[in-house]
């Protein structure tokens, strides 16, 4: 009885402390609002020029939220439509990706089956006018805003096709553009299915389920790869429903814990499982985040699938949309989420910052150990660590610069202009003659780039001049510079394989669009090859999902 009384007293004490802290916070909020309103009033009365209170308030709110975390944002009414486009993954427009090049914006990737592609727009086409208004010197965002509009509305886009200097006015009707959640799925080597998931927007789970059912029922696959690389997440419910494809009804997938009890929630699967036994591999990388980590992390915690790739981003924060007066919205972080083992995989502590004002990363030494369903050791505080770690794909400096400076993009346009067709997306390759033509093109355009070694040599020369060593070192420095230039001339040949890979994918995209490009990208994908190997070998697959002896002793 005395113990019960003690517990009750402690609970009352804690509740009183919490209420007192809340009251003190409310006082500080009231004080801060009063100070802000008085500053605004004094500015309006005394500032030498006319002030714009709405703009100042927007700026004040955005700067205030920037001190918290990057996911808590204010969306004023004028930005709400664009925000909803991002969260829904759909908009009214012509269906084309664009990019600023020199004075004009060009089409980089028309979506197959949408107005831009149906009207004959191709990658490399220059957008000259929109509804008669010159697009010269417009930014990509400005052009994008003009191209968007209500589905069913008319728009005239004047373009110059790649390789032509004639202006052509094309009339189009905007339509609802829905960016697909699953851009590609199919059957790979050894009867292994593959599903690429780009985002967790509405219907993502249905899209994955339909793809999986097609592969399972019509192609009789023996295993499946779910590709979540570069998937930044989205709706939590879609993640739970995707997990439900592979685990039984009633399985806990995630739970959220926040300041308010109303934000505490346990997410369980509610539907009938599609296949609880088929071997599953999930591909992840450092850009796999949020809802993607719920799926990959829960499958790891439940020992349901093998995770392959690199450690994921580590976003364990949950946001909610709160309506504000005058049509605005606040997307606010309300909780952290925890996956079945009990771990939170949030990698950055936004509540604590270093001397430079940057938030702190959770140190590896501070990550706590948890156990999967069968006893394997996993860790919190820094994303999902793959069961099979693989080195990320890294490009050389020369390849990166060729891509960034649009040499690969423009050469692909030239190739498509001169070749009516190519072989299939998974069989097309870059011939020696094509690669040599690319080298000639690059040389003719005066391609230049600076290597890290070149930058260091430049700094060394500057340092030598500053410290009066330059004359003594000049012969050696000049010799190093000449040798570096000589070596740079061979960079295209030294890095031929990776340059050819980017050329191949860019050219395939000209003929087979997004799906063809996705299919072509799998041909030389080492992580996909590793997944096929593991899924095709039952013993290796099962051995990865079994705890090690030391973990069993610890269990």
pTM of the model: 0.87
Q: Which of 493, 481, 406, 474 is closest to 450 using CA atoms?
A: 481
Q: Which of 268, 510, 550 is closest to 413 using CA atoms?
A: 510
DSSP secondary-structure letter at 234?
A: B
Residue 276's CB is within 10 A of a number of other CB atoms, namely: 11
d(CA 191, CA 526): 17
DSSP secondary-structure letter at 380?
A: -
Where do runs of H (alpha helix) occur along 467-545?
470-488, 491-494, 496-521, 526-536, 538-545
Q: Determine the 3-state secondary structure of 348 from DSSP.
A: strand
* Predicted pLDDT at 101: 94
Per residue, what are the HEC states of 165-200? CCCEEEEEECEEEECCCCCEEEEEHHHEEEEECCCE
- What positions carry a catalytic annotation? 290, 315
**Cα angle vertex 317, ends 311, 322, to 5°?**
150
**Confidence band (pLDDT; 50, 70, 90) for 10?**
very low
**Confidence band (pLDDT; 50, 70, 90) for 5?**
low
* Predicted pLDDT at 3: 53
* Highest mean pLDDT, choosing among 125-129, 175-179, 323-327: 125-129
Q: Which of 341, 349, 402, 342 is closest to 374 using CA atoms?
A: 341
d(CA 42, CA 31): 17
- Token pair 């948890």 is at which residue? 370
In the predicted model, is pLDDT for residue 17 greater than 50?
A: no
Output the six-digit token pair for 429. Answer: 């390759």
Contact 319, 346 (CB under 8 A): no
- The alpha carbon torsion through 392, 431, 412, 513 (nearest 10 deg) reads -70
**Confidence band (pLDDT; 50, 70, 90) for 535?**
very high
pLDDT tens, position by position, 183-236: 999 999 999 999 999 999 999 999 999 999 999 999 999 999 999 999 999 999
**Confidence band (pLDDT; 50, 70, 90) for 4?**
low
pLDDT tens, position by position, 355-395: 888 888 888 888 899 999 999 999 998 899 999 999 998 99
* Predicted pLDDT at 24: 56
Output the six-digit token pair for 360. Answer: 């702190």
Per the DSSP assignment, residues forming a β-bridge with 283 are 227, 308
pLDDT tens, position by position, 123-152: 999 999 999 999 999 999 999 999 999 999
Contact 396, 491 (CB under 8 A): yes
Residues 323-344: what's their mean pLDDT?
92
pLDDT tens, position by position, 88-123: 777 899 999 999 999 999 999 999 999 999 999 999
Chain centre to alpha carbon of residue 194: 19
**Confidence band (pLDDT; 50, 70, 90) for 86?**
low
In the predicted model, is pLDDT for residue 19 greater than 70?
A: no
CB-based contacts of 521, cutoff 8 Å, min separation 6: 505
CB-based contacts of 436, cutoff 8 Å, min separation 6: none
**Confidence band (pLDDT; 50, 70, 90) for 7?**
very low
Residues 316-324: what's their mean pLDDT?
91
Q: Domains (ranges, CATH) in the chain?
A: 90-178 (2.30.42.10), 184-389 (3.90.226.10), 397-533 (no CATH)
d(CA 331, CA 303): 34
* Predicted pLDDT at 551: 66
d(CA 527, CA 530): 5
């Amino acid at each position: 009885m005395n113990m019960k009384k003690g517990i009750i007293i402690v609970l009352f004490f804690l509740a009183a402390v919490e209420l007192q802290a809340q009251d003190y916070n409310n006082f500080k909020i009231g004080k801060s609002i009063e100070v802000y309103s008085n500053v605004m009033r004094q500015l309006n009365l005394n500032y030498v020029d006319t002030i714009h209170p709405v703009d100042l308030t927007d700026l004040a709110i955005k700067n205030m939220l920037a001190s918290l975390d990057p996911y808590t944002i204010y969306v004023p009414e004028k930005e709400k439509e664009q925000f909803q486009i991002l969260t829904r993954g759909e908009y009214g427009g012509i269906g084309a990706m664009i990019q600023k090049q020199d004075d004009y914006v060009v089409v980089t990737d028309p979506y197959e089956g949408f107005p831009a592609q149906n009207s004959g727009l191709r990658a490399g086409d220059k957008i000259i006018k929109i509804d008669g208004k010159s697009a010269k010197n417009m930014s990509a965002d400005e052009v994008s805003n003009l191209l968007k509009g209500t589905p069913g509305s008319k728009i005239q886009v004047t373009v110059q096709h790649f390789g032509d200097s004639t202006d052509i006015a094309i009339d189009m009707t905007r339509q609802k553009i829905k960016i697909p959640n699953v851009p590609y799925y199919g059957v790979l080597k050894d009867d292994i299915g593959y599903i690429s998931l780009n985002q967790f927007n509405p219907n993502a789970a249905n899209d994955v389920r339909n793809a999986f059912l097609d592969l399972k029922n019509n192609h009789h696959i023996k295993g499946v790869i779910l590709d979540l690389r570069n998937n930044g997440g989205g709706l939590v419910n879609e993640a739970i429903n995707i997990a439900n494809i592979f685990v039984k009804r009633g399985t806990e997938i995630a739970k959220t814990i926040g300041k308010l009890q109303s934000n505490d929630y346990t997410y369980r699967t509610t539907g009938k499982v599609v296949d609880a036994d088929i071997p599953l591999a999930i591909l992840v990388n450092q850009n796999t985040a949020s809802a993607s980590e719920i799926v990959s992390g829960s499958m790891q915690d439940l020992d349901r699938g093998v995770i392959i790739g690199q450690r994921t981003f580590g976003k364990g924060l949950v946001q909610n949309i709160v309506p504000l007066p005058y049509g605005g919205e606040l997307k606010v972080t309300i909780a952290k989420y925890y996956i079945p083992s009990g771990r939170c995989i949030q990698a950055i502590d936004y509540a604590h910052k270093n001397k430079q004002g940057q938030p702190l990363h959770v140190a590896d030494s501070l990550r706590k150990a948890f156990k999967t369903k069968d006893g394997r050791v996993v860790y919190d505080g820094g994303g999902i660590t793959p069961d099979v770690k693989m080195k990320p794909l890294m490009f050389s400096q020369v390849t990166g610069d060729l891509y960034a400076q649009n040499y690969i993009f423009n050469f692909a346009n030239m190739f498509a202009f001169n070749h009516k067709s190519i072989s299939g997306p998974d069989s097309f390759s870059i011939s020696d003659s094509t690669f040599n033509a690319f080298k000639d093109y690059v040389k003719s355009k005066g391609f230049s780039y600076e290597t890290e070694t070149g930058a260091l040599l430049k700094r060394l020369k500057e340092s030598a001049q500053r410290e009066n060593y330059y004359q003594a070192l000049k012969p050696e420095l000049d010799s190093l510079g000449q040798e570096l230039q000589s070596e740079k001339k061979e960079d295209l040949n030294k890095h031929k394989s990776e340059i050819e890979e980017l050329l191949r994918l860019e050219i395939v995209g000209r003929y087979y669009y997004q799906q063809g490009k996705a299919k072509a990208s799998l041909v030389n994908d080492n992580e996909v090859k590793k997944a096929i190997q593991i899924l095709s070998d039952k013993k290796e697959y099962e051995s990865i999902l079994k705890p090690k002896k030391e973990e069993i002793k610890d269990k």
